[in-house]
């Protein structure tokens, strides 16, 4: 009834090719943007920002990045944590070496540096496929973490090897360091998320995205119809790493403010982002958001319900949290193996016909 295509006519190719061809979708998208940009900054507080929104936004960027590689180009990677570390440490080195340059530029540059590193570690993908590649990317993960832990230059020779984000401002408002207002940090992350999602959406709709998907579906066949696997795979690694690097830089500079490489960018991070992508839905930008939201908010919600509402001991709640998350993952996969994004698609199909399903 509300959600329908009837009466939604297109008179130009441009209109037909737009990102959200269905009018209802388009308005919903604008509404979400409006709430995110115009409402949340005014109601945000420290808790909302640091416990839920910042990690959600930053993991969304990382998930979009990994989804490009895994969901669209079909290359499973477990090096996300390592690439996030590259983003974080490049941002740190740039921030301390060029304190006068705007921090937003540093974040973007950190993304480009990560893209270069990612492309280099993507080279084995030309030979190695499937789970073998996934395990091979772990080499990148472990090597990068070791490198940042070992070479003191990366952490400016500080005594403990931690890196701390110094205070930097955008338009006179601090966005890194302890004096950052929650709305400022939120808006910076939201800006990056919005741009990242738009770029990713349009890249995957275009030539490059089609090449990636051809490689994903069958790389030999793709090669035969003229897709160059070298450029397609490496570009997927580079683009994916760019987003992951930006996420790592934001994770360090804006969200945490101080990180230690082994703890913040260890192997668990790689797995976490991969979980988000798979739970959300492979090959879907919306799925990246859904997966990030699921894995960021669910533990917090379970904790709030268990500890604050029911008053259970924290350790029991923490154990139940694991049991429930694990059971939910299995349940979702059995109910809908293609992730939350597929559930959303099915829901939309149903909505089209609602309330007259026959």
Partner 1 sequence: MKKRLAMMALGAALLAGPAMADLVFPSLSYRTGPYAPGGIPFADGYADYFTLLNERDGGIGGEKAKVIECETGYNTEKGVECYESTKGEGALVYQPLSTGITYQLIPKTAADGIPMHTMGYGRTSAANGKVFEWTFNYPTNYWYGASIAIKHILDLNGGDIKGKTIALLYHNSAYGKEPIRTLQELSKKHGFNLTLLPVDHPGQEQKSQWLQIRRERPDYVLMWGWGVMNQVAIQEAANINYPMDHFIGIWWSASENDVLPAGAAADGYKALAFHNVGKNFPIYDDIQKYVVDKGLAAGNGDQIGTVLYNRGLYAAMLAAEAAKTAQELHGTAQITPAMMRDGMEHLEMTPEKMEALGVPNFGPAFSVSCENHGGNGLGAVAQWDAKSKSWSLITDFMEPDQDVVQPLIEEDSAAYAAENNITPRCN
Partner 2 sequence: MSADFYYGVEVFLNGLMAGVLYALVALGFVLIYKASGIFNYAQGVMALFAALTLASIIEGQVPFARLINATFGTEIHDFGWRVPVLLAIVLSIGVMVAFAWLVQRLVFRHLVGQAPIILFMATIGLAYFLEGFGDLMWGSEIKTLDIGIPQGGNRWIEEHSAFLGGDDFYGFFIDNLDIVAALVAAVLVAGLVAFAQYSKQGRAMRAVADDHQAALSVGISLDFIWVLVWSLAGFVALVAGVMWGAKSGVQFSLSLIALKALPVLMLGGFTSIPGAIVGGLIIGVGEKLFEYLVGAPYLGGATENWFAYVVALLFLVFRPQGLFGEKIIERV
Q: Which two tokens stand for residue 207?
A: 């030539």
Query: Which lies closer to partner 1 via its Cβ, residue 33 or residue 221?
Result: 33
**Shortest gap between Cβ of 161 and partner 1 (angstroms)?**
5
Tell me if 100 contacts partner 1 by CB under 8 A.
no
Q: Is 131 near partner 2 (CB under 8 A)?
A: yes
Burial class (CB in 10 A: 0-12, 13-18, 19+), 318: middle
d(CA 128, CA 309): 50
When asked if residue 40 is in the footprint of partner 1 (CB under 8 A), the reply is: yes
The answer to the question of residue 313 lying near partner 2 (CB under 8 A) is yes
**Nearest CA among 288, 287, 281, 266 for reference residue 83:** 266
Cβ–Cβ < 8 Å for 254, 185? yes
Chosen from partner 1, partner 2, none, partner binding at 116 (C-beta under 5 to 8 Å by type)? none
CB of 121 or CB of 186, closer to partner 2: 121
State how far the alpha carbon of 353 is from the alpha carbons of 2, 23, 93, 342, in Å.
9, 16, 55, 17
350 binds partner 2 per the rule CB under 8 A = no
Nearest Cα to Cα of residue 252 among 327, 176, 195? 176
How are the residues of the chain apportioned to helix, strand and coil, as percentages rounded to the nearest 5? 75, 0, 25
CB 76 within 8 A of CB 130: yes
Residue 127 is a binding residue for partner 2 (CB under 8 A): yes
171 binds, among partner 1, partner 2, none (CB under 5 to 8 A by kind): none
- Choose between 165 and 302: whose C-beta lies nearer to partner 2: 302
Among 3, 183, 286, 320, binds partner 2 (CB under 8 A): 320
Under rule CB under 8 A, residue 102 binds partner 1: no
Contact flags string 245-284 toward partner 1, x per CB under 8 A: -----------xxxxx-xxx-x------------------
> Where do we find the tokens 């995205």?
209
- One symbol per residue from 125 to 164: x for binding partner 1 (CB under 8 A), - otherwise; what is it? ---------------------x--x--------xxxxx-x
Is residue 39 within the footprint of partner 2 (CB under 8 A)? no
H or E element at residue 43:
helix 40-43
The answer to whether residue 290 forms part of the interface with partner 1 (CB under 8 A) is yes
Please state the length of the chain. 358
The number of residues that bind partner 1 (CB under 8 A) is 59
Quick one: which segment of 141-149, 165-173, 181-189, 345-353 binds partner 2 (CB under 8 A)?
A: 141-149
CB of 136 to partner 2, least distance (A): 5
159 is an interface residue for partner 2 by CB under 8 A: no
The rounded distance, in Å, linking the Cα atoms of 233 and 215 is 8
Interface map 225-264 toward partner 2 (x if CB under 8 A): ----------------------------------------
Q: Judged by CB under 8 A, which of 17, 18, 19, 45 binds partner 1?
A: 45
User: What are the backbone angles phi and psi of residue 174, rounded to the nearest 5°?
Assistant: -65, 130
Q: Is residue 328 near partner 2 by the rule CB under 8 A?
A: yes
For residues 13 and 17, what is the distance between their CA atoms, to the nearest angstrom?
6
Residue 259: phi, psi to the nearest 5? -140, 160
């Amino acid at each position: 009834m509300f959600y329908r295509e009837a009466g939604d006519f297109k008179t130009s190719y441009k209109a037909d090719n737009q990102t959200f061809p269905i009018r209802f979708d388009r308005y919903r998208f604008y509404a979400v943007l409006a709430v995110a940009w115009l409402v949340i900054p005014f109601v945000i507080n420290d808790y909302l920002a640091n416990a839920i929104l910042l990690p959600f936004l930053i993991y969304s960027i990382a998930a979009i990045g990994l989804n490009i590689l895994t969901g669209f180009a079909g290359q499973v990677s477990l090096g996300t944590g390592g690439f996030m570390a590259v983003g974080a440490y490049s941002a740190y080195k740039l921030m301390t070496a060029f304190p006068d340059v705007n921090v937003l530029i540093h974040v973007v540059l950190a993304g480009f540096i990560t893209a270069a590193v990612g492309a280099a570690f993507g080279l084995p993908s030309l030979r190695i496929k499937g789970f073998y590649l996934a395990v091979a990317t772990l080499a990148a993960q472990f090597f990068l973490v070791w490198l940042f832990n070992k070479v003191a230059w990366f952490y400016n020779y500080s005594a403990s090897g931690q890196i701390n984000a110094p205070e930097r401002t955008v338009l006179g408002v601090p966005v890194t360091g302890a004096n950052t207002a929650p709305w400022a940090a939120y808006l910076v992350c939201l800006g990056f998320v919005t741009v990242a999602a738009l770029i990713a959406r349009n890249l995957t709709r275009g030539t490059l995205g089609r090449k990636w998907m051809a490689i994903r579906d069958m790389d030999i066949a793709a090669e035969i119809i003229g897709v160059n696997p070298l450029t397609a795979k490496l570009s997927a690694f580079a683009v994916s790493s760019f987003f992951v690097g930006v996420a790592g830089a934001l994770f360090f500079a804006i969200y945490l403010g101080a990180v230690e490489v082994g703890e913040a960018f260890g192997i668990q991070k790689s797995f976490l982002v991969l979980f988000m992508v798979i739970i959300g839905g492979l090959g879907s930008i919306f799925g990246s958001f859904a997966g990030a939201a699921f894995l960021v908010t669910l533990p917090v919600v379970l904790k709030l319900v268990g500890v604050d509402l029911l008053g259970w001991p924290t350790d029991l709640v923490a154990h139940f949290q694991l049991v429930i998350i694990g059971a939910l993952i299995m349940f979702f996969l059995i109910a809908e193996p293609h992730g939350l994004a597929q559930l959303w698609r099915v829901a939309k199909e149903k909505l089209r016909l609602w309330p007259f399903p026959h």
